[in-house]
A and B are shown apart, each in its own frame.
Chain A
């Protein structure tokens, strides 16, 4: 009896939370004609025409370029964040430096509204010629990713037994060699989780994409909104839905594949912060 109630609550919650995603998917398979007569959640004649249009008519809005920009900037931003955080995490976990001041300071960054830094960064980018470049966007996404990457890596290294480093040091390895040759392979699962989680975060970032790109380096989150401002005849909902579905797909797929690891790391980052 109470179990049936649980199923009902689960179904309602899952439906309500995912409602915009469901609607978008359904709409993306509706023809323009059907859309004008049927805004409901069923489709009489499903069609792939919207996807075909998005993927072939790229003269005005090039979805490939948005997808590519998002991918490059997210990979760059996540990779760099991990590269910067790995030695820092090693130092925090294995020496007396950084644990008391550095770590909480960086964790707190997660809570600071990034718009605060956006205006001077915009000017800095203008001077450096980094506006509207994939590298420029990637560098900012690094900032977005650093807090969680650092927490995840510190936690991962803390879980590695000290004996492993000690053995390596006794065998004559420097601390740097111990970090690269011993610790890094052991925490590979954490590195992969940190990378995927960072990739999702970076892919989904909007504010800096909106501010720091205009044309060449526009990421998917910003590019998708262009399809709403399109042509004077109002929004073409089928096409716009197909764009949103394609833009939401990469992080959603990654997240679903990794949801167990991600839920673990997400809570680790939040609760220990």
Chain B
């Protein structure tokens, strides 16, 4: 079969660490970044005799995720034990959900190159995170940090309905945005609080059965997920085109060499010996509880994007960019509340503000607490332009100073005397001076060299230190040159 005649089949398994203050089965802090083994107690260390007690917030967070993705919330679900040996798993089993998860079904809407698609979810279930092994830090010994043990996780499993790396990326971004909007996950891929495994196979176009599936792990950015999937589609295509056979296996993404490599063969599937955890009662959720959680759901990304179009009259593109992150959308609305020039503010944010965010690498942070300028100050800046107090050009200078000093635009303009000169007499004086000083050029212009007009404008602006109202300058210059 020739190249390009395969169809990729991609399913994603996302692990999202939940932003509860406490762990899922004990009262230990779930916060990231504490010194090793500080956030531990007998329960999350799995000491003999300890028993788990479920943190109710975790269940509510799972319900939020379920409701936000139109999932069915199970009235009866169950905790299960997933048994396997690993040093970072102190009990020798992980408490998870298996045959009766809390959420089933559901869907996430995405759009790739203008084409809308709905990706269905298989399930969302709750589980506890494991610890972390640290190798080669201490001679030939390995150390274990159990801080992460018992931090609550949601596992969100999509149906194998994604058909390209771009779709996978769009799905992941939308899913992360939803979780961030729900304020249940910070979505930080680098710190591992939003992790993704991809199942990738290819099949001849038009064929029904799935091809041999490869699981890819170890991707810690959106770009890595997309690159890894692209690589894997390419690799599988080459293997089949060369008449080779694919094996079911787990492969690791190597971000330095930009390729996947085999980790282990999956010919013999792991036997986790799942069974219902006898230490935990079945989880019973009634309609009243579901309704109460539904009440607390915030406006989600798609709804907000539409509202930005409807309410602020923004182009769809602007609305899309501004609502990708909840904190960005919040920021935009905070600015607009202070000064209602929706499109100009959108331009400033999409341009200068996000440029600074990127320069300072704030876009990697899950929540941008310190935006480059306060919403009311950005609003004040745009208002200065709209009121004709400063020119757009001067505004750029003011903005840079706001970013570096944190000052207010009004004060910066006043302190540096940047107020726009709209006074006819002052501009006329400057115009006269420029004409007087450049008689030769004036003659050339009057002789038909229209292009010189820009030169005169520049000279006047220079003379007024850029503060002259450009419209007035144009007006008065034309009159004077027509002389």
- Answer whether A and B are interacting partners: no
**Interface on B for A, CB 8 Å cutoff?**
none
